[in-house]
């Protein structure tokens, strides 16, 4: 039987500060248009380093390369969608001490909704956590920007 429910996960548009709470909006609806009210969402939050934090600077890597434990699983998520098929996943910051750009990833699926292949329908959304330290003349050194090979200043 084909998948009959759609699930949209949306992250905030702006990057987070290290102490900010992360929030994801969830909208579930059946493909014939009705909201997926009362359905349960199950998932996991993950933290990953974001070394290529600035798309306009290909080849540059950002953050403290020696920093450990940046890739880890955070909270498990279980949420029941409201009567409009909406919900919000939020989590307090667990990365205040990090000195590197990070991304928080929500990977989730509606409980009990399966594809014809027998696999659950999973969706993912991510949110960048940006860190800027120092003033403009020292930010390259203090934030841990790694220049591309062959770059001369």
pTM to 2 decimal places: 0.71
Which of residues 9 and 2 earns the better pLDDT score?
9
| Locus of tokens 């306009």 | 56
Which of residues 29 and 136 earns the better pLDDT score?
29
Instruction: Centre a 10 Å sphere on the Cβ of residue 111 and count the other Cβ atoms it contains.
Output: 14
For 1, 2, 55, 75, the CA distances from 116, given in Å and listed in that order, are 5, 5, 37, 29
pLDDT digits (tens, 9 = 90+) for 53-109: 777 888 888 888 788 878 888 889 899 999 999 999 998 888 888 888 888 888 888
Closest listed residue to residue 71, CA positions, set 91, 51, 43, 41? 51
Q: What is the mean pLDDT of the chain?
A: 73
Q: Does domain 5-142 have CATH number 2.60.40.1930?
A: yes
Mean pLDDT (whole number) for 29-48: 87
The answer to whether the CB of 40 falls within 8 A of the CB of 78 is yes
Mean pLDDT (whole number) for 13-18: 80
pLDDT of residue 85: 93
């Amino acid at each position: 039987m084909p998948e009959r429910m759609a699930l949209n996960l949306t992250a905030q548009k702006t990057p987070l500060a290290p102490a900010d709470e992360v929030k994801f909006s969830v909208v579930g609806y059946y493909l014939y248009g009705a909201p997926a009210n009362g359905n349960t969402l199950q998932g996991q939050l993950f933290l990953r380093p974001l070394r290529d934090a600035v798309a306009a600077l290909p080849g540059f890597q950002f953050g403290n390369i020696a920093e450990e434990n940046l890739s880890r699983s955070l909270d498990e998520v279980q949420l029941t969608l409201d009567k409009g098929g909406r919900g919000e996943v939020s989590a307090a910051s667990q990365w205040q001490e990090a000195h590197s750009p990070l991304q928080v990833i929500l990977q989730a699926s509606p409980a009990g909704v399966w594809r014809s292949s027998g696999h659950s329908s999973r969706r993912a959304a991510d949110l960048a956590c940006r860190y800027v330290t120092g003033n403009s003349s020292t930010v390259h050194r203090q934030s841990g920007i790694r220049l591309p090979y062959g770059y001369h200043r």
